[in-house]
Structure 1
C-alpha cells in the first residue's frame, strides 16, 4: 500500500481530478459516475463551510477519499468517505443518503459520524460514547474503521493550523487510540505516520532534535549499511537463492519511545542496523535464515518465529539479530511477499489483494478480535467501561486494573499490589498493609492481571518495607520507597547520633544540652558541617566518632577536668541503651543473634550505624583487635519486640517429631523463622531451628520444655 501525502494547497477541483484519476485504474465508468455524484452532493451540502486553514471544507473529505483510493477501497467506501461529515455538519439526513445511493453507503456515513444529537456532560464522555458506537459499527463492517483512520490521518497532516492545546489533545488521543488500532489491525504504514505526526504535534522540539541527530548519524552509518548489504547480496547470489534485500530505518517516534522506555541515549538506539529479506515461499524463509546465520553469528535469545506463531493481528515474519561487521548488531526480518503485504496493509489487504489467502486471513482475524472485544461488553451500557476494555486489548504490554469504586488504573505488565497502591496515591502506598484481589486476601508481591479489582488495606501503623524494592516495577513506587527509606534512615541516624553523643557527655558527668550554642556553632563551622542535624547524622551513620566530637566540644567549653577524664579512656563508661532493633541503624548481629539478657557490645559500621553482638561472639575479638570504634552498650530496662535465636537440636528419627516440636513452640508464643538440617543419619538428625523469643528467660523455658521430649537427644543454643 502506498499512502501518498496529498498537497493540501490544491483546490477541490484539482483534488477531485487526482482522485478520479486513481479510481479509474480499478473502478468502472458507472462507479466513477457514482463517486462524482457523491462529490456533487457533499460539495453542495458543505458550501460556505471552511476549514481553519481557510480552504473549502470539501477539500478534507475528498482528501480522505484520495487516501482510500490508493488502498483500492470499493466504490461504496469511497463515496462514504466523500460524504462522511454530511450527517454531522450539514442538514442532510440518513434517509436522503439511503435514497440517493444505498443503505450501505448511508450506514457507513452514519457509523463514522459523531453523536451530535445527544448532550454529554463532558468531552471525555462524548469521546467514549463515539468510540463505542464506532466499534459496534466496525463489528458489522470493517470499512468503518478504515474510513475513520484515513479521516484521522488527514486531520493529523493538517493539524498545524490548530491551537497548541488542541494539537496536543488530538495528538494524545491519536497515540492512545487510533495508532494502536491501526497496529492491531496490521495497518503498519498508517500506524507509523499517525505516530510521527502525533509526536511532532506533542513534542515538536524533541522530534526536531532526534530528526537532526538521525540525519547527522546517517552519513557515518552509510559505510556499514553498504558493506552489510553487499555481503548479504553476495551470499544470496552465490547460492542462487531468490530474494530481495533492502535496509530499513526506524521512524522517529519509535526511536524516541525506545530511548524513553529503556532510558538509553540516542546513539545506542541508532546503533542497530535493520534489513528486510523478501522471499517467495515459507520454506525459503527458513532457508534464508540458515544462510544468514552461516554468514553472521546470531545473538542468542533474539530469534522469534512469527510464521509458526503469528501475532494476534496476523503479522508473520522471522526475526533474528546478528553480529555484523565492526561488531554492530543487525536486525533482520525474513518474510514472503504476501506476509510483507499484510504487515504493511493489515485488513486493507482484503481490498488491495482480494484473491489472496493472506487478505482473507487478515479480515477473519480482525472480525474475530472485534467479536471477542464486543462479546465482553454485552449487557453493559457504560461507554467508559468499553474504552477501558478497548485499551486493555490495544496495549498488551500494559495491564488495566480497577479500584473498588471502578476507577481504572493503568500499570506496566508485571506490576504488583504495591505498585497499584502507589499509583493510586503515594500516601496509600506508604500506609499499605495488605491487599484484596477480587475480594480475596493475597500477598503484597502478587503480580496483577488485566481486569482484576484491587482493594488496598491501609494502617496508621504500617511501615514502608525495604523488601518492596525487590518486586515493585513502577518508577513512582521505586522513587517513593527509596525517598522514604532515605528520610527514615536519616531520622534514625540523627536520633542515634544524639544518644551516642549524650552518652559520652554523661560518662563524665556533663550534659550535651548544656553546651554553649556559640561554641557548638564554631565547632560546626571549623569542621565544615552544615548543621547540628548533619553532625548527629554523621555520628549515627558511624562516619564520626562520638568520643572525638565530645573531646572537641568539652575542650572548647574549657572544662579541663572532664576533658582529661574523657581523654584517659573514661569513654568506656559511656553506655548506649538498646531498646531493640531500633529503626534501621541499630542492627543485631546475625552471627550470634543477641537477645535481651545477653551481655552485649556494639561496633560502629560506617553507613550502617551500630551493630550489636554478644560479648563472647567470635567476631567481637576480631573487631576489638582491628578496630577502635567499639562502644559500650546494654539492654534498656524495658525492651519490646521479638528477637531471633538459633538453637541446635539432635533428634531421633521418629514419625511426627517436627510436628510435636512446632506445637510446643507455638504454645510458648514462638515463631519458627527457619529450619536447617545440618546432618542426618539412619537413627538421628542434627537440625538448627531459628525461632523468635522475647528474652533469655523466655528462651530458657522453651529449651527446658523441648529437652523434656523423649525424641530430643541434645539441645543447645548456638553461639556463632
Structure 2
C-alpha cells in the first residue's frame, strides 16, 4: 500500500507488505516482538495512515516527518506498552498537523486510541515559555490530562525524549529553552512516575544541551577516574559475587556509574568539588525474592563494613512513586564509599519503567503499593488540589513540592504509612490524614511525646494528631507547612473565614449607615435591593457586604442609594451623620482580613480608637491620639466609629522606648522582666548608645492596656532602667 493513498475510506484494514517497509520501521518491528501478529499488523496500518497524512512534511534534519512518531512509538515499545498506546504514538501529531480527523482515527483504530491522540494533541499546544501565569496554566492542563489516562503523559514523555535526542537540528536559543523546560518539567514528572530510565536520559540530554562545556568536563572526569579506584571496583565486584554464590543466592550483579547530571546536581546542592563526590560508582544486586534481598544485605555487610546512617529500606517503606529497593553504602578498599542497591526482578523493572511496568509486568502489579496505583493516587490528589487553589501559579507552587520529593515516611496510630516531603511538620501530617483533621489540629504526639504543630518530623516516627472542634487555621501556619495539600487547605479555609468576617462587619457598617438615615436593611424593599445588586454586578447581598468591609464601597453612599434620596440622607452632611451616628461598631481583634492595626500608633485593647476605611484593606484602626488622625479628619466619610468589645482575643503589638545603663547584662535583665510579665519580644533594636546610657526599642506582644501596665511596672523596678515609655 502506498503512503499517499487516501485514508479513512475503507472499513477493512489491508495487509502491509513487511518486506517493503522502510528501514526506520524495522527497528519498531523488532521492539514490538512481545505483541501478537494481528496487533503488529495494526501498527503497520497506523504507519501507513500516518505516513499518508504526513506526506510531504519533513523534520528540520530533512528526514520524512513520519520518522518522528515511529521513533516515539519505539521508545514506548521498549518500555513494553500496550498496542493502543503505540498506535496513538504513531498518530499523535496527525490531528493537529494533517487533515486526518479524530473521528477518522476512532473509526479506524477505536475510540480509546482517538482519545489518547486527542489528549496528546492538547498537550502539544502547551508552551512552557517561563514559570509565569501562562506556563502555570499549561502545567495545570497537563496534569489534568494525565488524570484522564496516564498513557497520555507516557506518549508525551517519549515524544520529548526523541525531540531531545534530535535537538541538534534546532537553533541555540530553542535548544536552551527546550533543555531548561525538560529539566524543570518533564524529567521531574518522569521521576515522579517512577520512570527512571527515561528520567535519566532526559536529564543527561537536557544537561548536555543547557551546559555543554560542564557536561563534557564531567563526562571526561568520569571516564578518566583514577586507575586505583577502578581496580578497587573490580575487586569489590569479584568479592561480592563470590560471597553471594557461596550463600547459594541466585543473582545478577550490575556495576553502575553515576550520570554527569547526577554528579553535577550533588556538587551544586552540597557545594562539593568533583573529587569530594566519592560515590560515583556503585553496584546493583538483583535477586529472586524479597527474603533474598535481606539475606544478601547481610552478606554484603559481612564482606565490607557499612557506613553508619547510610542504610535505607525502601522495600518496607516504598517511595511515593512505588520505587522499592535496599540502599546501603559500603566502606570499600582504599577508603572509597561504594553504594549498593538490592532488589527483586519485579522491583528492578518498576524502578526503571515506573508506571509503564504496569503494562509489561502482569504479576503483582495491581496492589496498593504498585507504581500504577500510587501514580493514580498522586494525580487524583492533584485534581482535588487544583479545584481548591485560587490561581494557576499557586497550583504550580504546590505541585513543585510534590515533583521534587525527598520524602519522610511516618506511621499513623493504626500503623498505616504516609509519605510527606522533606521538612514536613506535624501540621503537614494532619492535613495528609484529612483536611478536617488539619483544620481542627491543636497539637500532636510524636512517639508518645506531646509536641507543637510546627515540629519537623523524621522518618519512622509515629504521629497522632490532637484536634479540637473550636480550633481554626491561622495565617501563621502558612509560614511552616511545606506540603502542597496543607498550604492549599489552609489558604482556602482562611479565605472562607475572612469572607465570613467581612460579611458580618459589612452588615454592621451598612446597618449603622442606614440607621443614620432612619432605615435598616430589613426595611429596604427587596426590588430596590435586587436592582442595586444587579446594577453593581453583585451576585448576592453577601458579596456587597464583604466589599463594604474591605473598603471597596462606602457604607454611607450605599445606604443613600438604597434609601433613594430620602429626607434623612439629604438633610445631613457626612460630618453630621458621623456625629449623630448610633453606637460604635465593636471589634474583638479576631476579625481576619478586614480589620488591621496601624503600625504608626500600634493600638491595643483599652485605647481610645477610631477606624479609617481604606480601599482594599478594610478598616485600619488608629489610636485617637495618633499624630496621623489629623490628616484623616479631612475625609470624614471614611471615618468609622469603633470601640473594643468586652471579649477581646489575641496578642497585640506594642512598642517601648527603654533607657538603661550601658553595662553588660542590662539588656538581658530587661528581656527577663518582660518575659516574667508573660509578654513575647518580637524585636529589639538600639536607638542610641553612648558610654553611659543605651536607648532601646522593644517590640512586644500584649493582651491589652492592663497587660502593658504590668510589663511597664516590672521593667521600671529594675535598677539598670533609667526610663521607660510607650511609643
TM band (smaller chain): 0.5 to 0.7
1:138 offset after TM fit, Å?
2.4
CA–CA distance in structure 1, aligned partners of residues 477 and 88 of structure 2: 54
The question of 1:196 aligning with 2:204 is answered yes
CA–CA distance in structure 2, aligned partners of residues 178 and 249 of structure 1: 23
Match of 2:695 among 611, 628, 640: 640
SS of equivalent to 1:151: helix
1:61, 1:85 within 8 Å by CA — same for their partners in 2?
yes
The question of 1:371 aligning with 2:428 is answered no
- Residues 596-611 of structure 1: pairs in structure 2 closer than 5 A: none
The question of 1:695 aligning with 2:695 is answered no
The question of 1:35 aligning with 2:43 is answered yes
Question: What is residue 61 of structure 1 aligned with on the other side?
Answer: 69
CA–CA distance in structure 2, aligned partners of residues 594 and 382 of structure 1: 49
CA–CA distance in structure 1, aligned partners of residues 27 and 128 of structure 2: 40
Question: What is residue 172 of structure 1 aligned with on the other side?
Answer: 180
Match of 2:34 among 26, 29, 47: 26
The question of 1:281 aligning with 2:307 is answered no
Question: What is residue 311 of structure 1 aligned with on the other side?
Answer: 319
Q: Which has the larger radius of gyration?
A: 1
Question: What is residue 578 of structure 2 aligned with on the other side?
Answer: none
CA–CA distance in structure 2, aligned partners of residues 370 and 266 of structure 1: 37
- Residues 398-477 of structure 1: pairs in structure 2 closer than 5 A: 440=474, 442=476, 450=484, 451=487
1:227 offset after TM fit, Å?
1.4
CA–CA distance in structure 2, aligned partners of residues 331 and 67 of structure 1: 29
CA–CA distance in structure 2, aligned partners of residues 359 and 244 of structure 1: 26
Question: What is residue 669 of structure 1 aligned with on the other side?
Answer: 713
1:457 offset after TM fit, Å?
11
Residues 32-53 of structure 1: CA deviation (Å, up to 9, x unaligned): 2221221112112112222111
SS of equivalent to 1:40: helix
- Residues 296-375 of structure 1: pairs in structure 2 closer than 5 A: 296-357=304-365, 361-375=370-384
Distance 1:125 1:114, change over 3 A: farther
Residues 92-147 of structure 1: CA deviation (Å, up to 9, x unaligned): 22112111221011101000013689999999666545443443332232211111
2:31, 2:77 within 8 Å by CA — same for their partners in 1?
yes
The question of 1:207 aligning with 2:215 is answered yes
Distance 1:154 1:166, change over 3 A: same
1:342, 1:358 within 8 Å by CA — same for their partners in 2?
no
CA–CA distance in structure 2, aligned partners of residues 346 and 448 of structure 1: 26
Match of 1:50 among 35, 41, 58: 58
1:87, 1:94 within 8 Å by CA — same for their partners in 2?
yes
2:293, 2:343 within 8 Å by CA — same for their partners in 1?
yes
Question: What is residue 25 of structure 2 aligned with on the other side?
Answer: 16
CA–CA distance in structure 2, aligned partners of residues 592 and 384 of structure 1: 45
The question of 1:255 aligning with 2:263 is answered yes
CA–CA distance in structure 1, aligned partners of residues 380 and 707 of structure 2: 57
Residues 156-205 of structure 1: CA deviation (Å, up to 9, x unaligned): 11112112221111111111121111111111100000000000111111
Greater mean deviation of Cα atoms: 30-39 or 147-156? 30-39
Distance 1:301 1:251, change over 3 A: same
TM-score by length of 1: 0.57
Residues 509-554 of structure 1: CA deviation (Å, up to 9, x unaligned): xxxxxxxxxxxxxxxxxxxxxxxxxxxxxxxxxxxxxxxxxxxxxx
Match of 2:119 among 111, 133, 148: 111
- Residues 563-712 of structure 1: pairs in structure 2 closer than 5 A: 588-590=663-665, 634-635=691-692, 640-641=695-696, 666=710, 668-671=712-715, 695=721
CA–CA distance in structure 2, aligned partners of residues 286 and 314 of structure 1: 19
Question: What is residue 574 of structure 2 aligned with on the other side?
Answer: none
SS of equivalent to 2:122: coil
Which blocks of at least 5 consecutive residues in structure 2 are unaligned? 1-19, 409-420, 426-471, 495-592, 603-657, 671-688, 699-705
CA–CA distance in structure 1, aligned partners of residues 121 and 230 of structure 2: 48
The question of 1:149 aligning with 2:157 is answered yes
1:98, 1:105 within 8 Å by CA — same for their partners in 2?
yes
CA–CA distance in structure 1, aligned partners of residues 314 and 231 of structure 2: 31
Match of 1:219 among 199, 224, 227: 227
Question: What is residue 468 of structure 2 aligned with on the other side?
Answer: none
2:128, 2:135 within 8 Å by CA — same for their partners in 1?
no
1:243, 1:279 within 8 Å by CA — same for their partners in 2?
yes
SS of equivalent to 2:65: coil
Greater mean deviation of Cα atoms: 212-221 or 378-387? 378-387
Which blocks of at least 5 consecutive residues in structure 1 are unaligned? 1-10, 400-411, 417-437, 463-578, 596-612, 614-632, 644-661, 673-690, 699-720
Residues 250-271 of structure 1: CA deviation (Å, up to 9, x unaligned): 1110000000000000011145
Distance 1:44 1:591, change over 3 A: same
Question: What is residue 99 of structure 1 aligned with on the other side?
Answer: 107
Match of 2:190 among 182, 197, 201: 182
SS of equivalent to 2:253: strand
SS of equivalent to 2:224: helix
CA–CA distance in structure 2, aligned partners of residues 370 and 362 of structure 1: 12
Match of 1:228 among 220, 227, 236: 236
Residues 657-687 of structure 1: CA deviation (Å, up to 9, x unaligned): xxxxx99993653359xxxxxxxxxxxxxxx
1:223 offset after TM fit, Å?
0.9
Aligned-pair RMSD on alpha carbons?
4.3
Distance 1:105 1:446, change over 3 A: closer
Distance 1:34 1:243, change over 3 A: closer
TM-score by length of 2: 0.56
Q: How many positions carry a matched residue from both structures?
A: 463
1:665, 1:671 within 8 Å by CA — same for their partners in 2?
no
CA–CA distance in structure 1, aligned partners of residues 139 and 154 of structure 2: 14
Question: What is residue 620 of structure 1 aligned with on the other side?
Answer: none
1:71 offset after TM fit, Å?
2.0
Distance 1:666 1:385, change over 3 A: closer
SS of equivalent to 2:84: helix
1:588, 1:594 within 8 Å by CA — same for their partners in 2?
no
2:140, 2:386 within 8 Å by CA — same for their partners in 1?
no
CA–CA distance in structure 2, aligned partners of residues 594 and 378 of structure 1: 53
Question: What is residue 552 of structure 1 aligned with on the other side?
Answer: none
1:242 offset after TM fit, Å?
2.8
2:80, 2:357 within 8 Å by CA — same for their partners in 1?
no
Distance 1:111 1:444, change over 3 A: closer
2:279, 2:338 within 8 Å by CA — same for their partners in 1?
no
CA–CA distance in structure 2, aligned partners of residues 389 and 445 of structure 1: 14
1:171, 1:202 within 8 Å by CA — same for their partners in 2?
yes
1:175, 1:198 within 8 Å by CA — same for their partners in 2?
yes
1:255, 1:270 within 8 Å by CA — same for their partners in 2?
no
CA–CA distance in structure 2, aligned partners of residues 108 and 333 of structure 1: 36
1:30 offset after TM fit, Å?
2.2
1:56 offset after TM fit, Å?
1.4
CA–CA distance in structure 2, aligned partners of residues 120 and 217 of structure 1: 38
Greater mean deviation of Cα atoms: 379-388 or 155-164? 379-388
Distance 1:34 1:460, change over 3 A: farther
